[in-house]
Amino acid sequence: MSDGSLLAGLEPRSFWGHFEALTKIARPSRHEEPVIEHVRAWAAANGLEVKQDAGRNLVIPVPATPGRESADTIILQGHLDMVCEKEPSSPNDPAEGRIVLQRDGDWLSADGTTLGADDGVAIAAMMALVEDASLPHGPLELLMTVAEEVGLEGANALDGSLLTGSVLLNLDSEEDGRLTVGCAGSTDTWIRITTAREPAADGAASLSVSVSGGAGGHSGSGIALGRSNAVKVLGRALREAHETVPFRLVSLDGGKSRNAIPRDAAAVVSVAADREADFRSAIETANATIRDAFAKTDAGVSVAVSPGEAAADPWSDAATTTLLDAVALVPTGPLAMSPDFDGLVETSTSLGEAITEGDQLTLHSLSRSSNDAAMPDVIATLDAVAGLAGGTLEEKFNYGGWRPNLDSAALAAGKTVYERLFGERPIVTAVHAGLESAVIAGKVEHDLDMLSFGPQIEFPHSPDERVSIPTVERFWRLLVGFVDEASKPAGA
Ligand SMILES: [Zn+2]
């Protein structure tokens, strides 16, 4: 770090030096070669061997400091890639290694771009820790993954046989003061229902029914906020209208991503011209009830009718009933709460997308649980919906959950060190979303005792990304304290 650096004078000095060096190296997901070379050169300079798997993840074994040789091996883990976002007008671009640091009091950010504190802090901390011979630790394995930000691709391709450690410290948490001890696994499912279309009745009117205005949000961490799911709201309004006004469904589409609660959905229906007014008023009635249902949790949601494109062959009457029943049956929302943490969802499922293609309606859900044993029942429910509707279920297991273990030795050591250093208790928690550690645990043959923590990082993945400088020092002290505590010889 040069003396003129914005970071001059910050502690720990060697951490900030490594962090600043990383801001000058392009490391977008799937294009980590320059930063891999940087790490290789650093390892060579420090006499360390670098192992790399076919997925391009790095594992760097580090010998224990004197007297700590018999301790359990700890895996320190973070990801090499970063989300490279920029303001359109900014000349800076992380994808080309141009991050210009800026400081606002205790906050460090980048001018017009993402900062890459997610997860540059992990890589810089590993390097600074290993270099400093005065910091005691047992045998370590530095696990630096690639392509975390694109669906945990690197971790998914990890060769777990490169790892021998029994404790894993994930350094990719973004909330200071917290020790994270669990996360959700996930499975995607697609219900596919192919059913008959028939020519539209003579003179039928074509109408479009659309849902918009909901707040949406992350389908895992935001699943218990009571937000409306536009596909479910659309299905509900249509089904309610269908009880009094016959119509035939032409198409039903909504949602943009498996990961987000759908905010928009639209259907086209074919209705007898002399029942159009009745249909409109039935949707209006449904809209009023739906808005009332979400008055406190998603007040913006609404259902509207407009003229639709003429459709020659809607689904048949029977098919329409089946499809609306299927949408009504697909569960969405929290299914079980955590037995360990108040207010945390353990199991949920979210209907993320509805897609009409020809005669087929596809309903794509993402189900999550930190309790792997709970998941088969969720999948069975979706499978039953598919079965009742005469359709099929395709299932894709992504990764298992990380089930909180409150008796974990790693957690006990983390709490002890935290309390000793900061004179207060950490918040022990879990997240209802995916973390790389869950994937990694699934790739390693032996059991891993896992813990995750990090400094305070706000607005990650956006040009507003910033890291709190004082919490970086706390993060560093906790990391140093942990590897010391966990490697102390018995009775010391
Ligand atoms: Zn990250």
Residue 259: the pLDDT is 83
Each residue's pLDDT tens digit, 395-435? 999 999 999 999 999 999 999 999 999 999 999 999 999 89
Residue 373: the pLDDT is 97
Task: Give 445 Cα–ligand 1 centroid separation in angstroms.
Answer: 24
Residue 491: the pLDDT is 67
d(CA 10, CA 322): 64
Task: Give 55 Cα–ligand 1 centroid separation in angstroms.
Answer: 18
Task: Give 132 Cα–ligand 1 centroid separation in angstroms.
Answer: 25
Residue 258: the pLDDT is 81
Q: Is 372 a catalytic residue?
A: no
Catalytic residue among 53, 85, 118, 148: 148
Q: Is 148 a catalytic residue?
A: yes
For residue 436, give the nearest of 33, 151, 187 by alpha carbon: 151
Task: Give 8 Cα–ligand 1 centroid separation in angstroms.
Answer: 25
For residue 398, give the nearest of 365, 424, 429 by alpha carbon: 365
Task: Give 64 Cα–ligand 1 centroid separation in angstroms.
Answer: 27
The identity of residue 81, as a single letter, is D
Q: Count of residues for the chain?
A: 492
Residue 492: the pLDDT is 57
Residue 2: the pLDDT is 61
Task: Give 143 Cα–ligand 1 centroid separation in angstroms.
Answer: 14
> What is the value of pTM for the model shown?
0.87
Residue 427: the pLDDT is 97
The answer to whether 213 and 282 are in contact (CB under 8 A) is no
Per the DSSP assignment, residues forming a β-bridge with 360 are: 194, 357
Tell me the pairing of strands 457-458 and 185-194: unpaired
Catalytic residue among 20, 32, 53, 81: 81
d(CA 443, CA 446): 9
Task: Give 53 Cα–ligand 1 centroid separation in angstroms.
Answer: 20
**Ranges in the chain, pLDDT < 70:** 1-4, 491-492
Task: Give 117 Cα–ligand 1 centroid separation in angstroms.
Answer: 8
